[in-house]
Amino acid sequence: MIEQIRLPIEAQTAEYKRFVARQMVSDNPLADNIMEYILSNSGKGVRPMTVMLSALLHNPDMGLRTYLGAMLVEMMHTASLVHDDVIDHADTRRGKPSPRALWGPRTAVIAGDFILAKSLTVGLDSGQYDIVDQVVRAMSELCEGELLQSRQSDEVRMTREIYLDIVTKKTAVLFGVSAAVGAMSVGASGDDVARMRLFGEATGIAFQIRDDILDYASSDTGKPLCNDLVEKKITLPLLEVMEKLPSRKEELSDMLARGEVDRLHRIVLSEGGLEAATEVMKKYVMRAVGLLANYPVSPAHNSLVLLANYAGERKR
């Protein structure tokens, strides 16, 4: 589905990749080699794709501002993954050795910082301060979400309100700023920029809930099954069961604290946690699609609708 979604921006995606290759370089051979390795192992590029599709939806004449916005969002995401692998002691990322495994945690942290600083320097040097401002604000929210999740995992507790706050800040904010920056980069109105931000956030929440569901239901994600439970994270499938069985909430929290992963996995499956979480996810997909209703049908519109649905249907 990703290739189908990307069809309207194939030419722009090629130009965007050339733009990144020109900008993300260093005179320092070690820094350049590490950065090249990290960027060569990038994922599907969903966030820069969102930037470009949002731009195309409002104006077919995209250029430097759009590519810059796409790069800033993707480099922030990339740096956060490098740091995540250090925090999680992960040896692989997308089937290849992680920077942490190859160069050690200290160098990996610095490499993530360098990617972030380098991309922001490009943004500032280009004078596109409004786009840089949006990305930096999103970065602040992302860090807040990580801190909040870390505290909740340490305390082994969660509420729906806190869960949605974490999901919004950790994942949805990046989708939201992607869609907003794309519209902003081609001169869309303030109302359209705000609408696209809401579209991105709804898509991002659906994307994260689907990720939480896959953690229980699939081993084809590149991550261990029930990794969230291993890390003592209460995500929506388990939260749904806790709300369904309030008399057992403390018992379930105790199981999580003791690391009874297999037992909790069975309970979540038997009590319909995945189905309940799926229903919540579908509402966010519908919200995202609904926010596009006022736009005329076009290739970009169709791809954004497909993107929202992909967030809720993907297998990994």
What confidence tens digit (pLDDT) does each residue in 179-200 have? Answer: 999 999 999 999 999 999 999 9
Residue 41 has pLDDT above 90, yes or no: no
For a pLDDT cut of 90, what percent of the chain falls above it? Answer: 87
Torsion-angle region of 222 (φ positive above 0: left; ψ -120 to 50: alpha; else: beta): left
What is the residue range of 63's domain?
2-313
Q: Total domain count for the chain?
A: 1
1 vs 10 pLDDT, higher one = 10
Closest CA to 183 of 236, 146, 130: 130
**What's the whole-model pTM score?**
0.93
- Residue 219: pLDDT band with limits 50, 70, 90: low
Helix (H) or strand (E) holding 93: strand 92-93
pLDDT in the model for residue 128: 95
Query: Among 31-40, 152-161, 274-283, whose mean pLDDT is lowest?
Result: 152-161
13 vs 87: CA distance, rounded Å: 32
pLDDT in the model for residue 92: 87
Q: What is the CATH number of the domain that holds 190?
A: 1.10.600.10
